[in-house]
A = this chain, B = another copy of it.
Amino acid sequence: MPLKYLTVAEDIERKIREGVCPPQSKLPTTDELCEQYGVSRITVRKAMDVLSERGFVIKRRGSGTYVKDIDPSSDDSESQVVESYSATARHEGHVADTQVLEFSVIGATGRVAERLRVGEGTPVYSIVRLRSVNDSQGLVSYTWIPVAIVPNLTKRNAADSLYRHVEVGLGLTVSSTHRSIRAVMPTLEEQVWLRLPEDVPVLEIDQVTFLSDGRLFEYSVLHRDTRDWSFKCVNT
């Protein structure tokens, strides 16, 4: 049986998206939702916590829960942060075109060893990929993955979604990502790969990803064209 709190959260999220619950409007009270969905108070509360984290509603003690009035042009619905990992993986699967520019196994050194928390010299895949998400958007990714964690990785897998290979192929699940974000100039190579005019900077996303069994499985540095895309997040 699907989780009750997610069922409730997703039903209300749908109502918000479809305009049944317009911006600024007050949602039913916790007790009313308990009745409507036939669940306990704590379950409704957990559903509301999910909606609150995702930035859809704002809870006001003593008053009620209200639909946030956000500018649709800065909509967070497709944001990386709002999405669950499976949804992210699904999107990655929709990446139109992925070229694997480099695929090799090397010994981890310096920053890569530090970020992956492995000893120097530990075998890791070193993968450089060029990906276009829509027509004009692009990103270059530099990824390092310990061979021990994902054996049998091939250049072909890398052209698909790595996440999908790890989740579907190996039965592991991705749990969390720690990101560090800056603005940098692309290298000359990257300028060519991404077809960037002079003086167009890229967003650098430096990230490590954990599996739900606690192992650190990936260190990546992404350089992304942000002329047609932006990184979105909600903080509460």
User: A interface vs B, CB < 8 Å?
Assistant: 24, 55, 58, 60, 63, 66, 68-71, 73-74, 76, 80-81, 114-115, 117, 175-185, 199-204, 206, 208, 210, 212-214, 216, 226, 229-236
CA distance A178 to B118 in the complex (A): 36
Contact of A68 among B71, B200, B204, B210 (CB under 8 A): B210
Q: Which B-chain residue is minimally distant from A228 (CB atoms)?
A: B182
9 A-B residue pairs with CB within 8 Å: A58-B212, A60-B214, A71-B114, A74-B180, A176-B236, A177-B234, A179-B232, A182-B230, A203-B203
Contact call B180/A230, Cβ cutoff below 8 A: yes
CA distance A68 to B209 in the complex (A): 11
Assuming the A-B contacts A74-B115, A202-B183, A230-B182, are A236 and B175 also in contact, with contact meaning beta carbons closer than 8 angstroms in the complex?
Answer: yes
Q: Which B-chain residue is minimally distant from A231 (CB atoms)?
A: B181
Q: Which B-chain residue is minimally distant from A82 (CB atoms)?
A: B235
Q: Which B-chain residue is minimally distant from A201 (CB atoms)?
A: B201
Contact call B58/A175, Cβ cutoff below 8 A: yes
CA distance A234 to B234 in the complex (A): 11
Contact call A179/B210, Cβ cutoff below 8 A: no
Assuming the A-B contacts A114-B73, A176-B234, are A66 and B214 also in contact, with contact meaning beta carbons closer than 8 angstroms in the complex?
Answer: yes
Q: Which residues of B contact A71 (CB under 8 A)?
A: 114-115, 117, 208
Contact call B180/A214, Cβ cutoff below 8 A: no
CA distance A183 to B229 in the complex (A): 10
Q: How far is the CB of A178 from chain B (nearest CB, A)?
A: 5
- Known: A178-B233, A199-B199; 4 extra A-B contacts, CB below 8 A, are A24-B214, A58-B212, A179-B235, A201-B201
CA distance A74 to B177 in the complex (A): 12
Q: How far is the CB of A19 from chain B (nearest CB, A)?
A: 16
Q: Which residues of B contact A60 (CB under 8 A)?
A: 212-214
Contact call B230/A203, Cβ cutoff below 8 A: no
Counting chain B CB atoms within 10 Å of each CB, which of A181, A185, A212 scores highest? A181
Contact call B235/A182, Cβ cutoff below 8 A: no
Q: Which residues of B contact A183 (CB under 8 A)?
A: 183-184, 201-204, 226
Contact of A117 among B69, B80, B115, B212 (CB under 8 A): B69
